[in-house]
Chain A
Amino acid sequence: MEKQSPDWTDAMNLLTAHRQSRWTVKYTADRFFRFLCLGSVIFLGAVLGAIVLFVSETGFLVFRDVSLSEFFFSPHWDPEHGKYGAAVFIAGTLYLTLVTLLITTPISICVAVFIAEIAPPWLRQWLRTLLDLLVGIPSIVYGYLGATLLIPWIREHTGAPVGDGFLAAALVLSIMILPTITRITDDALCAVPNEWREANYALGGTTFQMIVRVVLPAAKSGIAAAVILGMARAIGETMAVVMVIGNVAQWGFDLVTPSSVLTSHIVMQILNVDFQSTTNHALYMMALLLLMISISLIMLIRRLRLKGGAS
Chain B
Amino acid sequence: MNDQATLLHEKTSRLHIRRLMNRLILGVVIIISLAVFFVILALLYTIVKKGLPNINIHFLIGPPEEIDAGGGVGPFLWNSIYILVLSLLLSLPIGIGAGIFLAEYAPNNRIMEWVRGAIESLASVPSIVFGLFGYALFVEYFQIGVTILGASITLALLNLPVLARVSEEAITAVPSTWKEASFALGATKAQTIIKTVLPAAKKGILTGVSLVACRAFGESAIILLVGGTSSSGQMWDFHLFSEGATLPVHLWYIQSEALVADAQQIAEKTSALLVLMVLFLSFIVRFPLWLSQRKK
Contacts and interface: CB of A to CB of B under 8 A. Distances in A.
Interface in A261-278: 263, 266-267, 270-271, 275
Given A133-B282, A138-B220, A290-B128, A107 B188 contact: no
A20 interface: no
A295 B117 CA distance: 9
B252 A143 contact: yes
Contact of A299 (B117, B157, B218): B117
B189 A144 contact: no
B281 interface: yes
Size bracket, chain B contacts: 35 or more
Interface stretch (B69-77, B131-139, B172-180, B236-244): B131-139
Contact of A39 (B97, B124, B125, B193): B97
Size bracket, chain A contacts: 35 or more
A238 B271 contact: no
B189 to A, nearest CB: 6
B135 A270 contact: yes
Contacts, number: 242
Chain A, interface SS category: helix
A188 interface: no
Contacts of A291: 125-126, 129
A33 B93 contact: no
A287 interface: yes
Contact of B121 (A115, A175, A294): A294
A144 B128 contact: no
B157 to A, nearest CB: 6
B190 A34 contact: yes
A132 interface: yes
A291 B132 CA distance: 12
A30 B129 contact: no
Interface in B21-78: 21-22, 25-26, 29-30, 32-34, 36-37, 40-41, 43-44, 46-47
A275 B132 contact: no
B287 interface: no
Given A30-B189, A107-B32, A55 B132 contact: yes
B12 interface: no
A29 interface: yes
Given A41-B115, A295-B125, A136 B281 contact: yes
B115 A141 contact: no
A113 B29 contact: yes
A15 interface: no
A232 interface: yes
A51 B130 contact: yes
Contact of A178 (B36, B210, B255): B36
Given A144-B251, A144-B267, A295-B121, A267 B210 contact: no
Given A136-B281, A206-B19, A295-B121, 20 more contacts: A33-B193, A37-B100, A38-B101, A44-B161, A47-B160, A51-B133, A118-B29, A133-B278, A138-B274, A138-B278, A139-B220, A140-B220, A141-B251, A143-B252, A145-B43, A175-B43, A206-B18, A239-B220, A263-B126, A295-B125
Interface of A: 26-27, 29-30, 32-34, 36-41, 43-45, 47-48, 51, 54-55, 58, 107, 110-111, 113-115, 118, 127, 130, 132-141, 143-145, 147-149, 175, 178, 206-209, 229, 232-233, 235-239, 242-243, 263, 266-267, 270-271, 275, 283-284, 287, 290-291, 294-295, 297-299, 302
6 contacts: A33-B190, A34-B105, A40-B93, A41-B101, A137-B44, A242-B252
